[in-house]
Structure 1
Amino acid sequence: MIRVFSIIVLFLGCVWTSKAQSILINGRIKDSMSGEPVENAQIIIPATGEGTVSGEDGFFSLSVSHEFPVELSVIHIAYDKEVLTVQNKKSTGIILYLNPKTTYLDEVTVMGSFENEKPYRTETISAKTITKTSISDIGMLLRREPNVSGVKKGAAGVDPVVRGFKYAQLNVQLDGGIKIEGGCPNRMDPVLAHVDINDVKNISVYKGPFALKYGPNLGGVINVSTYTPRFYDAFENHIEVFAGGQTNHTGFKNSFGVNGGNDVVAYYVKGNYKQYGDYKAGNGEVISSSLEQYNVGGKLAVKPAKGHTVTVGFDRSWGRNVDFPSLPMDERKDDTHIYNISYFGTDFSRIVNYIRFKAYNTHVEHEMDNKNRPFSDTVVAVSQIAANNTGGKFGINLNLWKGRLEAGVDYEQINKDGNRYKYLILQPNLPQVTEGLWNNAVIRNLGVYAEWQRSFTSLDLIAAFRYDYNTANSDTLFRRKMNGQVVYENTNTSSTFNNISFSVGLTWHINESNSLLFSLGRGVRSPDMTERYIILLPVSYDPYDYLGNPQLKPEVNYEADFGYRFMQKTAGALHVSVFYSIVENYILGELVPPSQVPPQTRGVLGVKKFINIDRARLMGFEFSYTTPQKYQWFARLNAAYTYGINPKAVQYIRENGEVVGEQIITNDPLNEIPPFETNISLGYGFFHKKLIPELDIRMVAAQNKVSVANYEQTTPGFVTLGFVLTWQQSDMFTLYAGITNLTNAAYYEHLNRRVIGSKSPLYEPGRMFYVNLRFYL
């Protein structure tokens, strides 16, 4: 017995000695200029070869069996190598700053080094998050973020909704200033539909009317950053290949890119192709959702002198035969041209931090028809629209008044023209009828902005101001019947607005871990093309033809945001935010008597004209938590909710397909507001996080707070499960394999439109298996 006891004691002693000799060192790797975490930095002990890699938040954890002091080498392709000596076993919580290689400094990195952390809610989606999903539409990807949803009408082109703000209430752009005007009146091709998801480096969502240097901002900014050329110390050339395939909505998305250069010239060229078929919902219903989209694009960057970069870029994309079962038409073709040139310069003086300039032109040719609709056997309609957006931006960042001031000017001009061609199948002798959708409409916006930041002992202050001079005009708005009779005519099409926006925000750093955030802002945006100039088309969620109103007033959003942020390496990161918004001159539709303007679309109840109501209110919150990076396992949780109110809504009473009266509904919920939602991600990193299984749980509540005035329908809640396995064999090869809608649930989002000609909802796909492969050589 004593012998057995002695063996056990000896064994436990050996185990304890082994454990005692193995010490855990952890810390965080950061960018010395921007303070941002550095991912994929290699932390190596040269003496033993032991090592690890920093995670998304820059955290690393390394088990050390070597005697102290220990020398660590930190290596990253975009940074200078650093060597750190750990003197004793108690050296935990290390923070190491890496200096970016001068040849790698791009515009975003340098700009970030002159900015404080935002005092308002922002969401960021990285390229890694994009690559590991089966999603091929940017708008659909955004629906995973707290208080970000999207209006879905078909196989692509999900239109983002942020805190209840949508369409032109959001400022959606590319690379900090490139704007795109879609062609379709029903927004089957919003801005994000013209960008391939494989070209996206990251997406930033700035919530609220606070980020004013991006342009007119009522409810938020969505900035999509695409890949840029990378400079190298000596000439290098790299190839990137991506291939993804899936079942259900069967199809694939592929891309091939080449990038390289030296310390003077850098280039980036990439092509993408994707094709999908119809999909089955969880209940077995087949949803028309086929599409074909492809593009080619590239950028060339030149450094004529140290600290100065000139970049030219282009993107040419094609969309073919994209199904939209919730709209009267499908997209037959969509051709997009994007051209831009930019300059970014530093090293001017002690006062001037940087100067930047950008100019662009985007052109969209959009064609759609109703040839796949049941009623096309009597009337065939083909719409063709040309939309052009030209603009530019100049900004300078200065060290002034013990802080940093960025001031600049931007300009945008939108030109839009389009017609619908109709002819009767059963009466071929009648001439083809041409109906104007837009009639040479033009909107111009000239803006001047300034944003000042200053840091005090425990406070960060940011204040912004913006002035916009907005003008618009169009040729006469008119519509004729097929027999030539004039239905509508409006010659009063010009308008001019002087808009003033401003915001102020404070971040109070209570201590190293806790911060309070407060922002207050006034954002103004002028009416868009549809609200001003659309001519009798059913462009909204309800069954009415809509008329543009050239004399609409700009919407004005007064918003207050309050937040709390907690960050600690041993406890994780927590962020809570609440907001309250009052929108004056909120734009809605008002019924026009049929004696004045009769409807022109089959099946609608009448005609609505866009008008301003006094005000609407929106309020809500976001909550998010992420576990610390020091653990092999991880968990992420977010929850969000928005509620909107129209204090005095008008309900048009319907009987037998006609409007027979009206009544006032007080405090009516705003329509198309998503319900409460929670997302949970759980995972574990094996083999130094080279193999990561991850489970995603999405729980969406029923939406019962719907607009009574607009006959909005309630939607049931649902729960979906997803699973993805990531295997990063090396920096050169990564595999992602996953399952979406694991339980094959039959569900649909509240913002999904109904299938045209029926009361059936547009269901989401049922269970789907997918595999993505990424090679980088």
Structure 2
Amino acid sequence: MKKLILPALRMVFVLALALHNLFPAVAQEKQPLRILDHTTLEGIPGVTYRHGIQKGISDRSGTIYIATDEETWLYLSHLGYGAWTLDPLEISKAIQHGSISQKEKLHGLQPLSVISLKMTDEKDKKITISDQERLHHDAGAILSLDPIVSGIRKSSSFAFDPVIRGFKYDQLNIVVNGLQSANAACPNRMDPPTSQVALNRIREVEILKGPHALRYGIGLGGTINYIQEAPAFTATPGIYGRVSSLFESNGDVWRNDARLGFQGAKYDIGVLGSYSVGNDYLDGDGNPVLANFKRGTVGFYADFQATQKDLVQLSVNRNFARDVDFPSLGMDLRTDDTWMGSLKHTRVFSGRSLAKWSNSIYFTQVDHLMDNLLREPRTSNAGVPVITQNFGFRSEGEWKFSTAKLFAGVDFKEESANGIRTREITAGPMAGKVFYDNLWQDSQIRKTGLFANYLIPVGQTVISASGRLEVNQAVASDPAEEFAQLHSEVENTQLNPGISIGAQRDLGKAFSLGIWAATVRRSGSLLERYINYLAVGLDPWELVGDPQIKPETNNELDLVLGYNRDKISLELTLFGSYMTDYISSVKTDLKPRLATSPGVRQYINVDEAVKTGFELNFRQQLSSNFSHTLGVAYTHGKDLMLDAPLPEIAPLDLRYGVRGVFLDEKLQTGLNVRHVLAQERVSEAFGEGKTPGFTLLDLDASYPIGKMLLLKSGIQNLFAETYYEHLTRPIGANKTPMYAPGRNFFVMLSFKFP
């Protein structure tokens, strides 16, 4: 009997060993691995995983069960957290720890670009990201880091007014944390909304291309969302801070930024401030360009973890600007004083579909004065004190289902403007006479909106559907006599629906495809409805608004092809936009208020217009020390009624950069090339001139000194190119170009603690 048992045992052992080698996933016991949200540390249900022949979806607690080996990778994906992988070593460590965490990446479900502005405290220290942009006195100017954003400039040093795909001004929705905004008090937009954003606490900027981001309002051509840092609560109370200063040689520009904070387990409180000043600079040929400015911000913030589920956030900023030169306009900015405040409450829930509910209120007031008292010679003393106010609220819920997510809520915004121009004639037969021009007519617009955004996977495709219904009410409380004669009815209410639907799908391991379609309608702005005989456009003709102007509609299709594998990533976006009732202006036989004006234009609706174009972004890690990037953007616009180019469309813009890291990744270096083609497709109807192309080369390097100091320096426009942007407004009746700075050296020192 013993002789029979021993061979049988040997056979069983050999068979078991063979099965183990042939089917390791079966032979080895499956082990649990919980997938957590990086912020809340709650389990993420509905995560799709694949590990060799094993595949499935995480349960309600976010747990998956896998049998591991030393060769197979783990592939994970979720509609709200993107797709990511773990190599065998990372899997082993995760199994030992019992869990892994992942950050939400909802912005990946629509066409967008993200500009990083912050050197974070973790792995991003190894990436070449500078605090230099945070020091900038104009939050609009930093948007030019991305070639898809061009900008209208009327000052050589201030008020970069962004343009995306040829959409500008109120066709773009500009918000802070998806909520707060400011209205330009100056009719000529000396103070666009971007200029009022304090960069001291901004973590990143989302550039949401196209009209798809309906959660934050109606952005006919796109949404720019400045996202602030999240509160940093610590178990041990402490103090933190930052002091940074930057000097630019061309224009003697000083930029300074400081922040001091106090944090603990349930609070993060701080004060912040910035101050910048600059003088006239030299263009590439050594000619001076008027560029004086003074700009500053002081602010206070307080974040409280009132309970384990309740977060309260308060923010108050005071911005000011003084004596800013605007060579392309008839006046300069003398004073600009702005208050911006917001209060937000967020409550999180567990064990139910409703995961989060947030309620916010905000208030903004801009007190602006422009005049011509610094101009010589002049035939009149003119000044315009203007006040604009914004206030509103937003209430939004976030629901998480097993595989889907829903955002829904309501928001309200009221914007108003009031200002009268005073003209005192100082020369000629009318010397001594004073005229008063009611420019804004105490006008208001109220917007009440309902919105929803639903995201759900259908098979291997992620669907994103957004909708908004907005009631737009406009009125002029103090209409001027000449305006009332032209428009007997100055009050109007319009209903604006918007809908967007998109689908994104992975095509194999490397490629992805996304397609988004939207139809969105926008009512005219305060300027387009109520401006009263003032030159605010591309040419010197005075403009007058139309309270009954129809809403303009954008029907847009975006196609996004992505490639992401190992050390290479590429994204190509193609877009087409068909617009109806496009808001433009036409010459009339009305008499202008100023004798120097050639005539009067009135805002009207253009029946049809189209815009098409593409954007390309490429990145490759060449080696452990070098990486390079390429970005290209181009837009083509056409007025179908005139069979002519639309005005103010930027030419093709190409950016190429090479980054290098050395000395244990402490020394960070960069070379950036920008090439812009000539723009010859211009609007003759608006007197738009052609502009030449140009090429720029910038160099920079940064190095930390100890643990708290960072030194950065560089050269901008190395070859002293004499150039100007197509969208920069010319100077005077002779249309003299307002040239950009020539060669410029800068040095920055930043001190952080702890």
CA distance in 2, matches of 1:552, 1:384: 27
Runs of at least 5 residues in structure 2 that lack an aligned partner in the other structure: 1-34, 41-69, 71-85, 120-128
* Deviation of the 1:132 alpha carbon: 3.4
CA contact (8 A) 1:476 1:490 kept: no
Q: Secondary structure at the match of 1:709?
A: helix
Structure 2 residue 522 is matched with structure 1 residue 494? no
CA contact (8 A) 1:477 1:488 kept: no
Counterpart amino acid of 1:560? Answer: L
Q: CA RMSD in A?
A: 2.8
Report the counterpart of residue 45 of structure 2 in structure 1.
none
Report the counterpart of residue 731 of structure 2 in structure 1.
755
Q: Please, which of 660, 672, 679 is the counterpart of residue 684 of structure 1?
A: 660
> Mean Cα displacement is larger for which, 432-441 or 385-394?
432-441
Report the counterpart of residue 239 of structure 1 in structure 2.
241
CA distance in 2, matches of 1:465, 1:114: 20
Count of aligned pairs: 663
Distance of aligned partners of 1:98 and 1:276 in 2 relative to their CA distance in 1, 3 Å threshold: farther
> Mean Cα displacement is larger for which, 439-448 or 451-460?
451-460
Structure-to-structure mapping, 1:417-432, within 5 angstroms: 417-426=418-427, 430-432=432-434
* Deviation of the 1:688 alpha carbon: 2.4
Report the counterpart of residue 564 of structure 1 in structure 2.
561
* Deviation of the 1:672 alpha carbon: 0.7
Runs of at least 5 residues in structure 1 that lack an aligned partner in the other structure: 1-30, 37-67, 69-83, 101-108, 481-485, 650-665
CA distance in 1, matches of 2:106, 2:346: 16
CA contact (8 A) 1:572 1:627 kept: yes
Report the counterpart of residue 132 of structure 1 in structure 2.
132
CA distance in 2, matches of 1:590, 1:764: 31
* Deviation of the 1:700 alpha carbon: 0.5
CA contact (8 A) 1:244 1:253 kept: yes
* Deviation of the 1:491 alpha carbon: 3.9
Report the counterpart of residue 384 of structure 2 in structure 1.
383
Report the counterpart of residue 331 of structure 2 in structure 1.
329
CA distance in 2, matches of 1:224, 1:559: 24
Q: Please, which of 294, 299, 302 is the counterpart of residue 301 of structure 2?
A: 299
Provide, for residues 270-321 of structure 1, a one-character-per-residue CA deviation record: whole Å limited to 9, x for no partner.
0101000011100122111110011101211111111310011100111100
Counterpart amino acid of 2:383? Answer: V
CA contact (8 A) 2:573 2:616 kept: yes
* Deviation of the 1:431 alpha carbon: 4.7
Distance of aligned partners of 1:333 and 1:228 in 2 relative to their CA distance in 1, 3 Å threshold: farther
Structure-to-structure mapping, 1:362-511, within 5 angstroms: 362-376=364-378, 378-400=379-401, 402-426=403-427, 430-478=432-480, 490-511=487-508
TM-score between both structures, scaled by the size of structure 1: 0.81
CA distance in 1, matches of 2:542, 2:399: 50
CA distance in 2, matches of 1:511, 1:115: 21
Report the counterpart of residue 160 of structure 1 in structure 2.
162
Provide, for residues 136-165 of structure 1, a one-character-per-residue CA deviation record: whole Å limited to 9, x for no partner.
422222123122100011020110000111
> Mean Cα displacement is larger for which, 159-168 or 710-719?
710-719
Report the counterpart of residue 580 of structure 2 in structure 1.
584
Distance of aligned partners of 1:276 and 1:437 in 2 relative to their CA distance in 1, 3 Å threshold: same
CA distance in 1, matches of 2:94, 2:720: 44
* Deviation of the 1:479 alpha carbon: 5.8
Structure 2 residue 338 is matched with structure 1 residue 318? no
* Deviation of the 1:195 alpha carbon: 2.1
CA contact (8 A) 2:552 2:579 kept: yes
Report the counterpart of residue 64 of structure 1 in structure 2.
none
Structure-to-structure mapping, 1:49-448, within 5 angstroms: 113=104, 115=106, 117-128=108-119, 129=129, 131-132=131-132, 135-154=136-155, 155-376=157-378, 378-400=379-401, 402-426=403-427, 430-448=432-450
Distance of aligned partners of 1:455 and 1:87 in 2 relative to their CA distance in 1, 3 Å threshold: closer
CA distance in 1, matches of 2:512, 2:301: 40
CA distance in 2, matches of 1:579, 1:34: 34
CA distance in 2, matches of 1:738, 1:180: 34
* Deviation of the 1:213 alpha carbon: 0.2
Distance of aligned partners of 1:767 and 1:552 in 2 relative to their CA distance in 1, 3 Å threshold: same
* Deviation of the 1:85 alpha carbon: 12
CA distance in 2, matches of 1:241, 1:306: 33
Report the counterpart of residue 8 of structure 2 in structure 1.
none
CA distance in 1, matches of 2:37, 2:706: 28
Counterpart amino acid of 1:321? Answer: D
Report the counterpart of residue 638 of structure 1 in structure 2.
631
CA distance in 2, matches of 1:679, 1:98: 41
CA contact (8 A) 1:478 1:489 kept: no
* Deviation of the 1:718 alpha carbon: 0.4
CA distance in 2, matches of 1:98, 1:423: 74
Question: How many percent of aligned residue pairs carry the same amino acid?
Answer: 29
CA distance in 2, matches of 1:415, 1:85: 56
Distance of aligned partners of 1:442 and 1:264 in 2 relative to their CA distance in 1, 3 Å threshold: same
